[in-house]
Amino acid sequence: MDDYLKEALEIVKAQASVRTMVEEEIASMVRRLADSIRNIAEGVAPVGEPGVAAASDPKKAVREKSIICLESGKSFKILTKKHLGKFGLTPDEYRAKWGYPKNMPLVCKELQRERRKKMKDMRLWEKRIKKEA
């Protein structure tokens, strides 16, 4: 195993110890870092911004445990108004720009399921009917 791969594995290992990462994220990050470290060592100029280019597919941006911001290339559980504001976008403008449905929540799939389950457990529609009666 070459030194570049070992260095990349150490970096990804440290990153994975502080945040939840899915298998494909880990593999992708190791590959990207190893290539970047090799390019730096060999004096090759970086080509563009790899984070944004790799995450430019809107269909693949919403994952089980994360959502990739297609503007910054960074991974989050929730895309907030504050983060999108850094790029001069509102959540609605972001959805329109990247072709998402207007009512789609900008959160990871796991969090969507948790929220849906909580709302069903609260049964607010039953409480509202009782108050009206």
pLDDT in tens, 52-74: 444 567 888 899 999 999 988 88
Domain spans in the chain, listed from the N-terminal domain onward: 1-47, 57-133
pLDDT in tens, 70-95: 988 889 999 999 999 999 999 999 99
Q: Give Cα 39 distance to the centre of its chain.
A: 26
Length of the chain: 133
Report d(CA 36, CA 45) in Å as an integer: 10
- Rounded to 5°, angle at Cα 76 from 37 and 35: 15
Would you say domain 57-133 falls under CATH 1.10.1740.110? no
Q: In angstroms, how far is the first alpha carbon of the chain from the final one?
A: 72
Res 84: pLDDT: 93
- Which amino acid type is present at position 80? T
Report d(CA 53, CA 72) in Å as an integer: 10
Q: Which residue has the tokens 């409480």?
A: 127
Res 107: pLDDT: 94
Averaged pLDDT for residues 37-63: 66
